[in-house]
A and B are shown apart, each in its own frame.
Chain A
Amino acid sequence: MKHLLLFVGLLVTWISSSAQAQSDTPTPRRWYVPQHAVLQTAGGIGLVAGGAGYTLGSKRRWDVDALVGYVPGKYTGGRAFSIFTLKGTYAPFCLPVQTRWQVQPLTLGLLTNYTPSAMLNRSRDDKYPYKNYYWWSSTVRLGVFLGGRVGRELPVSQDGRARMVSAYYELGTNDLYAVSLLPNTKGLSLGQILTLGLGVKVDF
């Protein structure tokens, strides 16, 4: 819980300071200032995960986000997890609907995350007699997903930047679930390895 409060606190501070910067100095935003904030639940990256990121490409079809997730001890069988995630999402289409709404009917994404929890028995620990005793990492996961996003435009900021709030979903899986399914076409089904993530994003 302590981590969560700290994290929410940082997020609030950061969002309000960037809001301040916008109204006080209507100069172009510095390159490193994030373009959106994101908050997500589930999808294997936390009960709640929050972060920030950039929208890239000439057609603004790529989102790159960094998130910090939190899983309370109640769900880990001991101490809480912090999960650090990097995510890339590609949206091939963007459909304007009415005046202030837009829909990305399909998004495709990749993510990787790291769970540095002391709860996790490391598969690469020295206690194993040889390298690749266990071939996978117990703290680093790779994931893939597809999803969709619905956004509503907000009034433009004072310095003329378009702003938007949107909700998204991501249906995905991770490397270990995928390698469980691959050799087991009869014993497991795709539905059993899926995870769902739901989130909101604010472009500002």
Chain B
Amino acid sequence: MLLPFRSYLRLGLTLASAALLISSCELLEFSPNDVRAPDAQRDLTRQNLERLAQQPNPTGGDTLRFAFTADSQRYYDELDPLVSSLNQQRNLALVIVGGDISDFGLGREMRWVNGKLKQLRVPYFTVIGNHDHVGNGRAAYQEIFGPLNYSFTYAGTRFILTDTNGREYGFNGQVPNVPWLQQQLADTVGVRRQVAICHVPPFDGDFDPSLTTSYARALAAAPRLVFNLSGHIDKFGVSQPYNDNVTYISGYSVEQRQYLLLTLWGDKEYKLESIAY
């Protein structure tokens, strides 16, 4: 028995080291909940920010045009038409995906979506949605996309993307991180306009009710905010629910085969178009 047992062990060790060697092979999946991804499919927010930094504003002036879509969760058939429509938009600078990239919070789903969206001519940016938090999704999102809260400035416009999926944290009073949001909104150096982006809007039941007022107040106090964009409810709408002059725009889901085309100019001027594809 000694010899076969040793050869068994040797086989096992060979197998394990072979697995480590070829761990970049996507087929060899350790768990659907693992967060492994090839380098080209990791840190996508950083990669897209680097692309954006190299890209002059296509309008060549003060005007900024970007697109907003959301909830790509398990609608892979709709992504190719979405990408080809977006690639035909003139002067488009970037695309924002308003969360629920995945349905089950699996890394492979996020990489499938990236496989489609990387065909965009322009960089794209995501905010985390509630479905991206399920299972090990939060860790997968951080590995594949990046931080849960982040901001960047382009063409004088500061985009602030906040994790507002309070229910996924059991309404712990910490999400959204309002102090962080206030800090981002207060930093106006070189910023002419501000755009807040989240997945769950503050008027939805999946938003932490203990933070609704403080989120809304933070936006109302922001000096240069144009509007708040959100996904989640799969229903387009423009409203000022808190009567504080803050405009909340709910976007279309990928399933609805429409997206928003937003053109910003001046301080708070904007044009909103719904594009079907």
Contacts and interface: CB of A to CB of B under 8 A. Distances in A.
A170 to B, nearest CB: 11
A195 B28 contact: yes
Per DSSP, are chain B's interface residues mostly helix, strand or loop, or mixed?
A: helix
A77 B136 contact: yes
B135 A75 contact: no
A196 interface: yes
Q: How large is the interface on B (under 10, 10 to 19, 20 to 34, 35 or more residues)?
A: 35 or more
B117 to A, nearest CB: 12
Given A42-B19, A43-B29, A121-B137, A19 B5 contact: yes
Given A16-B5, A42-B28, A123-B135, A138 B105 contact: yes
A71 B34 contact: yes
A176 B5 contact: no
B134 A77 contact: no
A188 interface: yes
A108 interface: no
A121 B4 contact: no
Interface string B63-79: 00000000000111111
A46 B30 contact: yes
B18 to A, nearest CB: 8
Given A81-B34, A121-B168, 8 more contacts: A50-B12, A71-B34, A75-B34, A119-B33, A134-B134, A183-B74, A187-B75, A195-B27
Interface of B: 1, 4-5, 7-8, 11-12, 15-16, 18-20, 23, 25, 27-36, 74-80, 103-106, 108-109, 112, 116, 131, 133-140, 142-143, 167-168, 170-171, 205
Please provide the 8 A-B residue pairs with the shortest distance between their CB atoms, ordered closest to farther. A187-B76, A77-B139, A19-B1, A138-B135, A42-B28, A41-B19, A196-B27, A184-B76
Interface of A: 15-16, 19, 22-23, 37, 39, 41-48, 50, 69, 71, 75-78, 81, 83, 115, 117, 119-121, 123, 125, 127-129, 134, 136, 138-139, 141, 154, 157, 163, 165, 167, 174, 176-177, 179-180, 183-188, 192, 194-200, 202, 204
